[in-house]
Amino acid sequence: FSETEKIPVMRGQWFIDGTWQPLEEEESNLIEQEHLNRFRGQQLQESFDMEVSKPVDGKEAIHSLKLSRNHVDWHSVDEVYLYSDATTSKIARTVTQKLGFSKASSSGTRLHRGYVEEATLEDKPPQTSHIVFVVHGIGQKMDQGRIIKNTAMMRDTARKVEEKYFSNLATHVEFLPVEWRSKLTLDGDTVDSITPDKVRGLRDMLNSSAMDIMYYTSPLYRDELVKGLQQELNRLYTLFCSRNPEFEEKGGKVSIVSHSLGCVITYDIMTGWNPVRLYEQLLQKEEEELEDRWMSYEEQRLLEELYITKQRLREIEERLHGLKASTISKPPVLKFKVENFFCMGSPLAVFLALRGIRPGNSGSQDHILPRTICNRLLNIFHPTDPVAYRLEPLILKHYSNISPVQIHWYNTANPLPYEHMKPSFLNPTKEPTSVTDGESTSTAPSPTTSPVMVRRHYGESITNIGKASILGAASIGKGLGGMLFSRFGRSSTTTPEPGKEGAEGEEKKTTTVGTPPLSHSSSGFLEPIVELEHRIDFELREGLVESRYWSAVTSHTAYWSSLDIALFLLTFMYKHDQEDPDKSNLDAV
C-alpha cells in the first residue's frame, strides 16, 4: 500500500427489504437523484411499520424510472419497488398478474431509503486510550504490504480478546502499522547489478530480506534506516493526534511492538545509540592500556601532549554545542513517551552483547533501557525461534539459569498474575536417569506454569527417548549439524557421571566465575540474592504435537495471529484499568 493509492468509501442509500443489503452504488445514485427530483419536500414515515414487506395491492405506480437491467416504481413517497427487466422475469410477472396477483407481490423487491436503524450519537467506536505502533523487521521490501496484513491479523486477534476479557472497558487499544522500508533508497540498484543470474530467485529473496541486516551494520546506510523509522513513527503519531485531538488531552499512551531487526532499530532510536560512541570508548580504552605499559621519556611526553590537545578539543566542541543549543532547541527524537516496548522474535540481546553490554549487580531494567525512556521492556519469543535471544542474563548473569516466564494460554482459567510468578530453575541440578523419573519431576503441579504436558527446558536434552541416536548423529557432524543441535537443543551443560561426583564436582562448583550463589527450596523455585525488578523474558508455550525443528522454520513469523500474544499484550496495556476489579472480566494477569 502506498499513499498514492486511493481506497473507495462506499455509502449505502437504498437498501433491499428483508436482507437490508445496499444496492449497487451506480443504481443507488440514479434512484436517489430521481427520488429527490420527484418527491423533494414530501414527508416520509417517522419509522418503519411492522408490515414493511406487505405488497401494495391495487395501487398504481405514480412514478417510474428505467434502469439498464431493471426499473423502479414509486407507489408513494415511501413505497418503492425494484423490478427486473430480464425476459424470464417479464414472463413470470405476466403469468402471475393474469392469475390475479399484483405486480409488486409477484416479482417486485421493496426498497428502503436509509437503513433499518437510524444512527445515534452512541453509534461510534470506543475512545482510543492506547495506540500501538507495529514495526516490521527484515523482508518488507519483498512484500511491501506484509506489515499491514500482519497488523490487521494482530488487530483482529486483539478484538476477539477484548470482546472476551475486556468488554466492560469504555476504551480500546488501536494497532497502527509502521512501514519504514519502502521509502528508503539506500544503494539504489547497486547490489542488484552485482548479483549473479544463477538461482536468481533465491538471490533476490536474500537481497530483499537478509540484506537489511548488512545495511544496518554499514556505517554508510545505518543512519538512513534509523531516520526512516524515526520519521515514520513521528509522522503517524502527529497524524493520529490531528484526527483524535482528545488523545493527548486525556493522557493517551503509546506502546511499540517490534519484530526481528525492527527491535534493534527501535531500541537505538529510543536510546540514541550511535556507533561513534562505541568508537570513542575503544579509543579511551586504548589510552588507558598505553598508560599502563612502560614507555620512554619521549613517548610519555608526546602522549601527554596528545592528551592535553584532545582535552582542549573536547572543551571547544562542548562550547560550540552549547552555543548551538542556546540558539536552536533540538526537538526530541520521538514525539511521544513509550509506555511499553514489546520485542517479538528479537535479536536485540546479541547486538547489545556485541556492543559490550555485560551483566551488572542491579536488577533494574535501567541497565539496558532506562525507564525514563520506556516504562517497561518485554521480550517475547517462541522457544524454537532461531532469531530470538534472551535479555535478562544481560542484566543479571544468574538469570541464564532461570527459565523465562511462560505466557498463559488464551483459554487458561484464572491465570496466575505474572507479577506473582516466582522464578524457577532452567537447568535441573540432577538429570533424570529415566523417562519415568523425568516425567515424575516435570509433571509436579506448579502454580507458575500449570502445564498440561511434560515441559523440557533448554538445559535438558531434546528428549530422553531415542537420545543415544540423536547424540550419535550430532557427534558425526560438528559443523552445521552441531550448531543446529546446540541452538535448538540448548544442551549447554553436561551432567557428570554418578561415580565422578565428588571432589571434582565440588571443585567445579567453587570455580564458577560471575554466577552468584542461588538458594532454592525443595519446591524447585529460586530464591536468588538479587532479583529483577520486573521480569523481561516471556516465552510462548510449545504445542502438544509440535516438532521443534519444523517450528524453528515457522516460529519467527508466527507471532501475529497468536491469541496468547494478543492476550499478553492487552494484559499489560490495560494494566492500569485492571486495578479496578469491576472494569474487567479478566482476573489480574
| Residue pLDDT, tens place only, 428-451 | 554 443 334 444 333 333 333 333
Which carries the bigger pLDDT value, residue 509 or residue 321? Answer: 321
Residue 456's pLDDT is what? 40
Q: What is the mean pLDDT of the chain?
A: 75
Beta-carbon count within 10 A of 563 CB: 15
Residue 381's pLDDT is what? 96
Residue positions counted in the chain: 589
Residue 89's pLDDT is what? 59
* Residue 188 CB-half CA count within 13 A: 3
258 to each of 225, 274, 342, 378, how far by Cα in Å?
15, 20, 6, 11
Looking at residue 229, its amino acid is L
Active site residue 260: yes
Question: 489 pLDDT band (50/70/90 cuts)?
Answer: very low
Is the pLDDT assigned to residue 34 strictly greater than 80? yes
Is the pLDDT assigned to residue 2 strictly greater than 60? no
- Span 250-279, average pLDDT: 90
Q: Could you confirm whether domain 126-283+328-426+531-575 is CATH 3.10.50?
A: no
Chain centroid to Cα 565, Å, comes to: 9
Nearest to 565 by CA among 423, 378, 369, 348: 378
Residue 104 near residue 56, CB atoms below 8 Å: yes
Residue 264's pLDDT is what? 96
Residue 551 near residue 542, CB atoms below 8 Å: yes
Which carries the bigger pLDDT value, residue 549 or residue 180? Answer: 180
The residue from 255, 260, 403, 446 that is catalytic is 260
Quote the percentage of the chain above a pLDDT of 90: 30
pLDDT digits (tens, 9 = 90+) for 354-401: 988 999 999 999 999 999 999 999 999 999 999 999 999 999 999 999
Beta bridge partners of 82: 72, 109
Residue 495's pLDDT is what? 40
**pTM, full prediction:** 0.64
DSSP 407: P
Residue 412's pLDDT is what? 87
- Span 419-427, average pLDDT: 83
Residue 142's pLDDT is what? 65
CA separation for the pair 589, 575 (Å, rounded): 9
504 to each of 231, 433, 507, 513, 517, how far by Cα in Å?
58, 21, 5, 16, 18
Is the pLDDT assigned to residue 15 strictly greater than 50? yes
Which carries the bigger pLDDT value, residue 53 or residue 217? Answer: 217
CA separation for the pair 449, 208 (Å, rounded): 40
Cell output for 498: 554418578
CA separation for the pair 57, 101 (Å, rounded): 8
Is the pLDDT assigned to residue 20 strictly greater than 80? yes
Residue 552 near residue 486, CB atoms below 8 Å: no
Cell output for 438: 523425568
Question: 151 pLDDT band (50/70/90 cuts)?
Answer: very high
Nearest to 223 by CA among 273, 261, 283, 278: 273
Residue 335's pLDDT is what? 93
Q: Which of 13-27, 314-328, 361-375 has the lowest mean pLDDT?
A: 314-328
**Sheet order of strands, 79-84 included:** 14-16, 109-113, 79-84, 70-76, 63-66
Cell output for 320: 560550540
CA separation for the pair 449, 111 (Å, rounded): 58
Cα angle at 401 between 260 and 419, to 5 degrees? 75
The residues, ordered by sequence, that sit 6+ positions from 292 with a Cβ below 8 Å of its Cβ are none
Greatest Cα pair distance, the chain, in angstroms, is 124
CA separation for the pair 136, 159 (Å, rounded): 21
- Span 246-274, average pLDDT: 93
CA dihedral of 78, 79, 85, 88, whole degrees rounded to 10 = 150
Nearest to 254 by CA among 129, 370, 152: 129
Quick check: helix, strand or coil at residue 223?
helix
Which carries the bigger pLDDT value, residue 117 or residue 132? Answer: 132
Residue 10's pLDDT is what? 74
Residue 316's pLDDT is what? 87
Beta bridge partners of 528: 518
Residue 208 near residue 191, CB atoms below 8 Å: no
Q: If you search the block for the grid coordinates 433499518, which residue do you land on?
A: 116
- Span 188-216, average pLDDT: 81
Residue 195's pLDDT is what? 85
For the chain, domain boundaries: 14-39+57-113, 126-283+328-426+531-575
CA separation for the pair 240, 131 (Å, rounded): 9
Nearest to 401 by CA among 425, 382, 419: 425
- Span 35-62, average pLDDT: 62
Residue 67's pLDDT is what? 85
Nearest to 408 by CA among 221, 560, 589, 219: 589
Which carries the bigger pLDDT value, residue 76 or residue 489? Answer: 76
Quick check: helix, strand or coil at residue 27?
helix
Residue 586 near residue 578, CB atoms below 8 Å: yes
User: What H or E segment, with its residue span, contains residue 306?
Assistant: helix 297-327
552 to each of 257, 381, 487, 488, how far by Cα in Å?
21, 12, 10, 8
Residue 93's pLDDT is what? 58
Residue 188's pLDDT is what? 75
Strand 109-113 and strand 79-84: the pairing is antiparallel
CA separation for the pair 327, 54 (Å, rounded): 77
Question: 282 pLDDT band (50/70/90 cuts)?
Answer: low
